[in-house]
């Protein structure tokens, strides 16, 4: 009986890890303009970004302050949208870092952590990704 209980528990843990890791819950943040700048605070780590959906206005400067949760796992944030004036590839640490940019074109631009351990899923594949929505 003990072996059956252990096996069922192991299967449940594996199923939750496999099914839940790739589909993070949406945590949406809509930036407000204050003193001509849109300020966004973000945390990354444990294979997530919080928030993972960020809404900003086009042609208004953005100050994105990001930090990672404590731990030894390296993380970064990458947003490649040169057509919209956005080209970010920054390592993140437990010390907050402010990244400044001005989006020049409305649209949805994915962001992700591109870190990966050898022979394992990438951080993006494990759920560390999101969308920057630039609106009129």
What CATH number does the domain containing 87 carry?
2.60.40.420
In a domain, 40, yes or no: yes
Nearest residue to 116 (alpha-carbon basis) of 76, 63, 84, 60? 76
Segment 45-70 mean pLDDT: 97
In a domain, 89, yes or no: yes
SS (H, E, C) 15-44: HHHHHHHCCCCCCEEECCEECCEEEEEEEE
In a domain, 52, yes or no: yes
Rounded CA-CA distance 95/39 in Å is 17
- Per-residue model confidence (pLDDT) at position 47: 94
How many domains are there within the chain? Answer: 1
* Token pair of 9 as six digits: 């528990």
Segment 44-69 mean pLDDT: 97
HSE at residue 67, side-chain half, CA atoms within 13 A, is: 7
Could you tell me which residue, 85 or 117, shows the higher pLDDT? 85
In a domain, 3, yes or no: no
- Per-residue model confidence (pLDDT) at position 120: 87
- The residue segments making up the domain with residue 32 are 25-135
Which secondary structure element, helix H or strand E, spans residue 90, and what is its range?
A: strand 86-92
Percent of the chain past pLDDT 90, that is, above it, reads 77
CB 61 within 8 A of CB 91: no
Rounded CA-CA distance 104/47 in Å is 29
Could you tell me which residue, 32 or 3, shows the higher pLDDT? 32
Q: Would you say the pTM of this structure is higher than 0.85?
A: no
In a domain, 58, yes or no: yes
CB 61 within 8 A of CB 100: yes
Name 73's Cβ contacts closer than 8 Å, sequence gap at least 6.
Answer: 45, 115
């Amino acid at each position: 009986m003990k072996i059956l209980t252990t096996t069922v528990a192991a299967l449940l843990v594996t199923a939750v890890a496999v099914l839940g890791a790739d589909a993070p819950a949406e945590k949406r943040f809509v930036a407000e303009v204050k003193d001509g700048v849109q300020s966004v605070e973000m945390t990354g780590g444990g294979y997530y970004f919080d928030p993972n959906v960020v809404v900003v206005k086009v042609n208004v400067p953005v100050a994105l302050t990001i930090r990672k949760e404590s731990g030894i796992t390296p993380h970064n944030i990458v947003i490649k949208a040169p057509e919209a004036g956005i080209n970010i590839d920054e390592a993140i640490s437990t010390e907050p870092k402010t990244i400044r940019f001005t989006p020049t074109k409305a649209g949805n631009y994915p962001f992700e952590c591109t870190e990966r351990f050898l022979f394992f899923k990438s951080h993006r594949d494990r759920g560390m990704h999101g969308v920057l929505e630039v609106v009129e």
